[in-house]
Structure 1
Amino acid sequence: MDERPEGNAAAVRRRRVFYIPGYDPFHPRRYRELYRKEAQAQAALSGYDIALVPRAGKGAGAGLATGPGPGSGAGGGRYGWRVEGRIEGAETRAEVEVLVWSDLVRASMGQSIAATYGQLARTAWIYLADGTLLRLARLRGGPIVAALYPVAVLLGQLLAALAGGAAVAGGLGWALGRAGLPAWGAVAAATLAGAALAVWALVRFKRLDHRLYAYYLMHDYAFGARGRGANPPALEARLAAFTAAIRAALDEDWDEVLVVGHSSGAHLAVSALADLIRAGVPDRGPALSFLSLGQVVPMVSFLPGAGRLRADLRFLSARDELVWIDVTAPGDGCAFALCDPVAVTGVAPPGQRWPLVLSAAFSQTLSPARWAEMRRQYFRLHFQYLSAFDNLPGRPDDYDYFRITAGPRTLAGRLGGRSPSPSRITRACARHRSLQ
């Protein structure tokens, strides 16, 4: 029998946090700096103390914990930071580690312009051919708009480049013909010039992607769809490393081991934790908690080849070795807000326990002025779960990322007593439900 402490009764002085980011090519230091900035803001708003402090040993100043691990994307180390808090009358310490797969993301983004348009065609076919995109649209419109955005932008750029090239070719051909150049020469020169202009335009468009995010989003959706939902071997190997890191922490002296999966990182966390529990966890160990934030699980679990993920969702949803809280917000147009990822995929077992689906309610937990400022900043809102809220009521069970990761209560003790969001979506919409 599992004899780990009940979450509601357990006090936390020492916590190990594993953060799994979404599809992000950047170095994990950006998450440390985000945590530092937003924790200070939330502490000032909520009246507690929290600080990032240097870690002991080599690399402490950079937040780099040495040793083998899932990789930092820079040199194969393990990247994290230490947090000390004085919250709710208790002093706590947390060790936060980013489980990195940004190197895999960067590799998947190293595509030429032509290859990206090939990705667009293949990904669109996978989602459209058997009605998967339409089934996803029954859940939430926001993620579908986000999925169609790169398609529309990239096709618009292609049409604009071709139209510009055709206009230049036509005008130049006419001018060269009038100048007495033989017809074949005029056509060849004009065609070459038009093609060059079209290529130049596409290159210029790609250089603007740091503002448009069309290529980035296209690579994101293509990464999940390229195996029709099945993980590529490199990602499976990385998941095994994630599982090993979490398992090692369960043998150490922590009060809670908390896994946080954000965006695409949520479904990676599901598979890593399912593998972990199948292999066995210690009976007398830290409380094991899973917090999924801004999840986009259906974008993968609805695909025909996602049997592994569907099996993991079904398995994890009925386990008593962990607590799983899923937090989203309708204001986040990039997430499947308030969608129970197990139920909507159609794999909920009779004894489903998890996840407990809660709303971060951006329109209420952000002040009216802040909400008005941010409500059209779609990508920024997708990261709001990791940021400060300036209108929290101050209840112990508020969603506060920094109390959750650095406070004196387990995830179950803080949020487990809440009722599921009354607006949660549980209807099964997926066509593909096989577990293999």
Structure 2
Amino acid sequence: MTQVHKRHVLYIPGFDPVPPRAYRERYRREAALQADISGYRIENGTAPKGARFGWHVDAQIEGAEVSTDLEVLYWADIVRKGMSAGVAGTYWQLLRTAWIYISSGALFRLMRLRKGPVIAALYPVAVLLGQALLAGGLWFAVFLGFMYVSEEVLALIEGRAWLLQSDFGARAWFAILVLGPITAWLFLRWCARRDHLLAWYLMKDYAFSAQAWGAYPAEQEDRMRAFTDRIAEVLQSDVDEVLVVGHSSGAYIAVSVLADLIRAGRVPEDGPELSLLTLGHVVPMVSFLPKATRLRADLAFMAAQDVAWVDVTAPGDGCSFALCDPVAVSGVAPVGKTGPLVLSAAYTQTLSAARQKALKWQLFELHFQYLNAFDNLPDRSDAYDYFRVTAGPLTLGARFANRAPSASRIETPVNKFTDP
């Protein structure tokens, strides 16, 4: 089957605490922009039956009418729980996560792939350590200031007699053990809550992925089983294609969920076309860890299946392992490997100069650009366009059937841990 009249899209987000409606609003906003640019029509409707978090679109693209249900597979509650660590907990996560990546050698092998995502991983470490140094400086400043505070001020503090027993020693100890720590903690707490640099968020992201040395946490496994059940249910519906989309860390979740689904024999032979689209993946951040045996086995399994799998990244996205074949670089490419088809979103070619300039320092928006409108797309049906893929008249496999993989893709296996 290549022609699509009805499609169901199931989107798996990355480590993102935002509610599903944020993805719905992004889709609606960007679909309208892309429709204006590309000359097609997309109209939004209500949520599909059985979907907790979803919406519907009717589109007229490439001369065909297509009806699409879109749904977000929800795990933001787990993300929010993973982000709940306070100041001390986050610094403990920093130390533990750094130890996991350094002691396992994963950090140094990741650097052989792409510098961008490794720099992105080191960035929150540098910011948090810098903020800790500033907190230490405030601590010391409070100590110096309190040493010169007047006796009149000291008299207002309860326990004046104790404070003045030793004019230097009592003040020093009070400043060092009480006022200094409180000031430093309040500063770090302010940094964590404001997090204008997004360093605290990123630190929690990497800590969550590495917490079990690459194995999936139990709570995540439970949710993935729920995802598998939902996809199996949709595969029994009257649609032409079931398209699973995994973005960022949602990419490796999608791989494992579909591997479970296929192994369990839950894909009907006469059912809808099952397709997999992974966007801006960070697979090596997990697959290069020693206990990621489950993920490595799933990557090898999916790479040999008769399922259209297209992987899209962009060198301009510093938060993804751009053009790195997630199976090959993980060292688990099977004999007869069929996927994924590695493509570049090529921001320098598909975005106008003005749009590139506007996005230059918006690293997170660049990481989400795969879900956004492109204002300089080439006039080809196989150019990557999220809205043609999700609401157009061709299956994922048919749309990219004649597209060659990116010539700049990286397939060198550099992972030390290759046991499935």
What code does the residue aligned with 1:315 have?
Answer: F
> Which residue is 1:97 aligned to?
71
Question: Residue 40 of structure 2 is aligned with which of 33, 48, 56?
Answer: 48
Q: Distance in 2 between matches of 1:329 and 1:427?
A: 18
> Which residue is 2:159 aligned to?
none
Q: How does 1:75-90 map to 2 (within 5 A)?
A: 78-90=52-64
Secondary structure in 1 aligned to 2:274? strand
Question: Residue 315 of structure 1 is aligned with which of 286, 290, 301?
Answer: 301
> Which residue is 1:290 aligned to?
276
Are the aligned partners of 2:104 and 2:290 in contact in 1 as well (CA < 8 Å)?
A: no
Are the aligned partners of 1:366 and 1:391 in contact in 2 as well (CA < 8 Å)?
A: yes
> Which residue is 1:32 aligned to?
24
- Structure 2 unaligned runs (5+)? 155-163
Are the aligned partners of 1:18 and 1:258 in contact in 2 as well (CA < 8 Å)?
A: yes
What code does the residue aligned with 2:280 have?
Answer: G
Are the aligned partners of 2:6 and 2:67 in contact in 1 as well (CA < 8 Å)?
A: yes
Secondary structure in 1 aligned to 2:327? helix
What code does the residue aligned with 1:141 have?
Answer: K
| Corresponding position: 1:17 with 2:2 | no
Identity of counterpart residues, as a percentage? 56
> Which residue is 1:70 aligned to?
none
Are the aligned partners of 2:324 and 2:411 in contact in 1 as well (CA < 8 Å)?
A: yes
Are the aligned partners of 2:303 and 2:327 in contact in 1 as well (CA < 8 Å)?
A: yes
Question: Residue 117 of structure 2 is aligned with which of 140, 143, 148?
Answer: 143
> Which residue is 1:165 aligned to?
139
Secondary structure in 1 aligned to 2:175? helix
Q: Distance in 2 between matches of 1:300 and 1:89?
A: 42
Secondary structure in 2 aligned to 1:125? helix
Runs of 4+ in 1 over 3 A off after TM superposition: 174-181
Secondary structure in 2 aligned to 1:78? coil
Secondary structure in 2 aligned to 1:424? coil
Q: How does 1:31-430 map to 2 (within 5 A)?
A: 31-53=23-45, 55=46, 63=47, 67=50, 78-175=52-149, 182=166, 183-191=168-176, 192-209=178-195, 211-280=196-265, 281-320=267-306, 322-430=307-415
What code does the residue aligned with 2:308 have?
Answer: V
Q: Which stretch shows the higher mean deviation, 85-94 or 366-375? A: 366-375
Secondary structure in 2 aligned to 1:39? helix
Q: Distance in 1 between matches of 2:229 and 2:331?
A: 29
Secondary structure in 2 aligned to 1:52? strand
Secondary structure in 2 aligned to 1:187? helix
Q: Distance in 1 between matches of 2:416 and 2:91?
A: 27
Are the aligned partners of 1:267 and 1:309 in contact in 2 as well (CA < 8 Å)?
A: yes
**CA RMSD in angstroms, aligned pairs only:** 1.5
Q: Distance in 1 between matches of 2:149 and 2:71?
A: 64
Are the aligned partners of 1:177 and 1:186 in contact in 2 as well (CA < 8 Å)?
A: no
Are the aligned partners of 1:230 and 1:308 in contact in 2 as well (CA < 8 Å)?
A: yes
Q: Distance in 2 between matches of 1:121 and 1:272?
A: 31
Q: Distance in 1 between matches of 2:74 and 2:257?
A: 13
- How far apart are 1:184 and its partner, in Å? 3.1
> Which residue is 1:71 aligned to?
none
- How far apart are 1:181 and its partner, in Å? 5.8
What code does the residue aligned with 2:7 have?
Answer: R
What code does the residue aligned with 2:302 have?
Answer: L
Q: Distance in 1 between matches of 2:379 and 2:39?
A: 10
Residues 366-415 of structure 1, C-alpha deviations (whole Å, 9 max, x = no match) = 01121122122111100000000000112111101001000100111111
Are the aligned partners of 1:331 and 1:375 in contact in 2 as well (CA < 8 Å)?
A: no
What code does the residue aligned with 1:354 have?
Answer: G
Are the aligned partners of 1:176 and 1:186 in contact in 2 as well (CA < 8 Å)?
A: no
Q: Distance in 2 between matches of 1:241 and 1:207?
A: 32
Residues 123-176 of structure 1, C-alpha deviations (whole Å, 9 max, x = no match) = 000001132111001100110111011101111111100111112213322556
Are the aligned partners of 1:20 and 1:98 in contact in 2 as well (CA < 8 Å)?
A: yes
TM-score (ref. length: structure 2): 0.94
TM-score (ref. length: structure 1): 0.91
- How far apart are 1:186 and its partner, in Å? 1.4
- How far apart are 1:241 and its partner, in Å? 0.7
Q: Distance in 1 between matches of 2:22 and 2:417?
A: 37
- Structure 1 unaligned runs (5+)? 56-62, 68-76
What code does the residue aligned with 1:52 have?
Answer: N
